[in-house]
Amino acid sequence: MEKEISIFVENLAQRNAGNTKGAWFTLPVPFNTIARKIGLSETEEEWIITDYEAPFDIGEYDNINKLNRIAAELDNIPDYLWENARDLLSSGIYESIEDFVNDPERVIYLPNILEDNDLGSYLVEHNAWYDVPDNLASYINTRKFGQDYRFSTDGFFAKTGFFISA
């Protein structure tokens, strides 16, 4: 999985004059490279981010140096976390993208657990709450069991599995 953050940056003075003077950049990239490519100068020094490709929100005036620091750390984030980054960031487990990058493994991940029935079956099979004899396991309502577990924790289903705060 390719972990990238891309931004489209425009020269704000040119944009306000009705011209598009901008370019796509895959971060990290030095700011002077951005400035040179979009034609920033002493008289035209303002820029704006008008589009982006990332699993988190980027504002028009977000600090590009901060975004570069985040992009430089992407290799330290496991693929399964990056693939689910948008869900993880909106879950409240992480307070910000910086928090996510600095402490990515704050969660427990159960791959391919995509609904309450899957979760309940996993919990029964792995004796997560109770030691259930094999001859009784088939009598358990695994959907309800998974739902109860999910409601009693801060866990949630994401694109590729179930996450819970570690």
How distant, in Å, are the alpha carbons of 12, 16, 144, 148, 156 from that of 129? 57, 61, 14, 12, 18
Which of these, 61, 53, 63, lies nearest to 4 by C-alpha position?
Answer: 53
Question: What's the whole-model pTM score?
Answer: 0.83
Which stretches in the chain have pLDDT values below 70? 128-129
Residue 143: its pLDDT value, please? 96
Residue 136: its pLDDT value, please? 78
- How far apart CA 83 and CA 70 sit, in angstroms, is 16
Architecture of domain 5-76: Roll (3.10)
- Contacts for 13 with CB less than 8 Å, ≥ 6 apart: 43, 44, 46
CATH code of the domain occupying 107-165: 1.10.10.1190
CB count within 10 Å of CB 35 equals 17
CB count within 10 Å of CB 118 equals 18
Domains of the chain, residue spans: 5-76, 107-165
Residue 127: its pLDDT value, please? 76
Residue 113: its pLDDT value, please? 98
Residue 166: its pLDDT value, please? 87
Residue 129: its pLDDT value, please? 65
| C-alpha torsion angle, residues 111, 114, 117, 122 (rounded to 10) | 10
